[in-house]
Amino acid sequence: MPPPVVLNAALVARAHTTLAYAAFTTALVVGCAAHYKKIVKNGVAGYPHEWFPSVSAACGDWYPERNLFQILIALTAPPRVALVALQYYLHHVSQPRIAAALLTSGVVRTLACGGWVYITSSDDHDVHDVCMILYILTNIPWMAAGVLSAPKSSPLRRKRITLASVFFTTLIPLIYFFVRHKVHRIPGAYTHYALCEWGLILLDVGYDALAELEFADARLQATFSTPSSLAQPTGSTQPEKQAPTPPDSHESLVSILKKSDAEPTSPTPHSTAPRIHMLPQLFRRFHASRPTISFLADTYLAYIHWSVLTALVPTLFFFSVSHLGLAGTELSLFALLSPALLAIPVLARWARNTGGQTTLRLLGLIGVLVAAVESPGGRLLGVALGAGASVLGEAARWGACQGDQAHWEGIVLGCGMLLASLAKMNNYSNNPVWPFVNRKDTLYNKIGLGLALLAVYEAHTRHSGENDSASGISRTRASSNRSTPTKTAANRHWLFTSLPFGALLFTIHNLLGDGSTLVAWSWTGYENSVPRGPVPHIHGALTLIAQCLGLALPVLLSTSKSQSYSKPLSLLAHPAFFAPGALAMYAVYTYRGWTGYVPGLGLAAWLMALLPSVLAHTAAAAENAPTVFLGAYAVYCVFTVVSLLTVAYAFVPGGQVFRERTDV
C-alpha cells in the first residue's frame, strides 16, 4: 500500500498567498498592457484625469485579464477553504467560541469573495457591490477572532493588529474618494479610490498570509493515508507505534489532522542548498576572472537600481507641473514602501533567495523598458512598479547580509551611484537610461537594458560559494568575527537606524546625484563676464572626484590586516567623524563662490565615506526588524515631497516655508 503523505499546514497558507497575489497582479498587469485607457475610464472621466484602474475594472471587465483572474482565483479556493478549516481545527478545543467565529466568518467571507469575483460590476452592479460590502463586513469578525486567537504579546498578534488596523483605517479615504466620485462627480477621484481599493487587497491577503506563522509555530500537519497503511504489518520487527484509528474503516481515504510532536524541520536556506549551474563556455574559460566580472555586474545592477529609483520623482513631477499643484500622482511614491512586504515570511524568504532576487531585478528593469511607452501615465506606472520591485529586492538582500558583507554592499551601492553621476555628467545632466529623456530613439535605453540583462544573468548563475569571493570578502572573515554594528544596532529601536539611512539616501540623491548641484548652491553669477565661482560644466568633475575619494576611504580601511575589517571601518561611525561633515555643511549653506564650494567637496567625500557603515548598521538592525528599511524609505519619501515644495511653493499651501534657503 502507498505510504502516508504528510503535508505541512503552513504550505497551505503559503499556496493561498502566492495564488491570491498572482491572480490580482496578473489581472492588473495584463489589463494595463492590453487596454489601459479602457480600464481607467469610468462614468465621470477617463484618461488622463483617471490613470489607475479599480479592482473591478482590472479584474472583471475585459478579456483576457478577467478570465486569467478567475482561473487563478479558482485555484486559490481550495487552499482558502483549507485555511479556514485548519484554523478552526487548531482552536476548537482550547478556544471553541473563537474557533466557531473563525469558521462562520471564514465561510461567509469566502462565499462573498466568490460573489464579487464571479459576478462582476458589468454583470450585475448591485449584486457585485452587495457581495463586496458583505466581504468587508465579515472581515471584522474574521480579523477580530484571528487577533484574539493568537497568544498575548506574541509577534503574530502584533502583526495581525497592525494589518487589521491599517486595513480598517484605509476604509476612511476609500469612502471619502468614493463620495467625491459618485456624488460630486470629480474627475480623478476614482483613481484615488482605486489606489485605496488595491491597498485593501494587499492588506487583506497579507493578513491571511500570517496564518503560515501560526501553523508553523503549532507544527500543524495533515496526513493522508489509506486505512491499510496506518496498520503495522504482521511480523514486523519494528516497535509498534500508536496509530490513530480511522473514523470509518470502509472509507478509502482518511484525512487526519494532528500536531506533530517531532521537532520542526526548518527549510534549508537557499544560499546553502546544493545547486548545479551550467555556466557558459565563456565563463568557464575565464573562471579565474569571475570575481572581477561579478563585481562589475553588481556595480552595474546598483547603477540600474539607483537610476530607476531616481527616475520616479521626475516622472511623477510631469503631472504636478501640468496641473500646477498636487496632482495625486505623488501617491506613486508609496511604491518605494515595498519593503513592508518583507513582514510576510513567505515573501521575505522568496525575495532573499536566488530566484526571488533574479525575478525582482528583472521586474526592476520595467523602469528602463517603459521608455518605449508614449503616454506619461504608462511611463509613471512602469517606473513605479520597477522602483518598487528594485527597492524590495535590495532591502531583502541588504537585510540578509551579515558582518563584512553589509559593508561591501554599501561600497557596491556607492560605486553604482558614482556611475550614475558620471553618466549624467556626460549626457547633459540626464541619466541615459531614464525612460523620459527626450530623444528620437531609445538607443541608450536598449544598450542599458541589454547590459542589465547580462548582469542579471551573471548574478543568477553565480555559484553560492563565489558570492563572497566575488565581493572581495572571504567567508571565513565574514563569519569569524562579527562587527560591532551587528551586536549593537540589532538591539536598537528600528527608528534610530531608519532615520539615518533614509536621510543619507535623500542627501546623496539631492546633493550628489548631479555633479553640478553643489556648484549651483555656491553660484552667485558673473562679474565683468567672468564667473565669480565654479561653473558646472567644468568643475562638476571635482565633485565626482571628491565622491570617489570619499568612497575610497572605507575601501582602504577594508585592506587592514585586521581579522574583520569592520573594526577599522567603525572609525567612520564614531561621533567624532560627524564634526567635519557638520562643519562642511555649515560652510556650504553660509558661504558662496569658491569659499562655499570647496567645503562642499569635503561634504561630498564625507557622505560617500559614511554610506558603507550606515548601511551595515541598518542591515544589522534589519535582522530583527523588517520595518527598518520600510522606515528608511518612508523618511526618503517625506524628504522628497518636502524638497519638491522648494520649486512649487507658489501654488502649494505652506510651500514657502520649505524654500531651499529659508533665510532669503
Which is more confident, 339 or 646?
A: 339
- Ranked by mean pLDDT, the top range of 231-245, 296-310, 482-496 is 296-310
Average pLDDT score over the chain: 79
Q: Is the pLDDT of residue 491 over 60?
A: no
CATH architecture of the region 281-658? Up-down Bundle (1.20)
Q: Label residue 528 exposed, middle or buried (CB < 10 Å: 0-12, 13-18, 19+).
A: exposed
Q: How confident is the model at residue 438 (pLDDT cuts 50, 70, 90)?
A: low
Percent of the chain at pLDDT above 90? 24
Matching residue, cell 553640478: 516
pLDDT score, position 277: 36
pLDDT of 64 reads 86
The stretch 501-527 carries a mean pLDDT of 90
Kindly report the three-state secondary structure assignment for every residue of 61-118. Answer: CCCCHHHHHHHHHHHHHHHHHHHHHHHHHHHCCCCHHHHHHHHHHHHHHHHHHHHHHH
Question: Is 60 exceeded by the pLDDT of residue 113?
Answer: yes
pLDDT at 12: 87
pLDDT range class, residue 123, cuts 50, 70, 90: confident
Confidence of residue 411 (pLDDT cuts 50, 70, 90): very high
- Given a cut of 60, is residue 283 above it in pLDDT? no
Q: Following DSSP, what letter does each residue of 6-56 receive, concatenated?
A: EEEHHHHHHHHHHHHHHHHHHHHHHHHHHHHHHHH--SS--TTT--S--HH
Distance, C-alpha 268 to centroid of its chain: 23
Q: DSSP 3-state assignment of 222?
A: strand
The position carrying cell 563676464 is 529
Q: What is the pLDDT of residues 528-556, one digit of tens each?
A: 778 888 888 888 889 999 999 999 988 88
Of 383-392, 468-477, 589-598, the range with the lowest mean pLDDT is 468-477
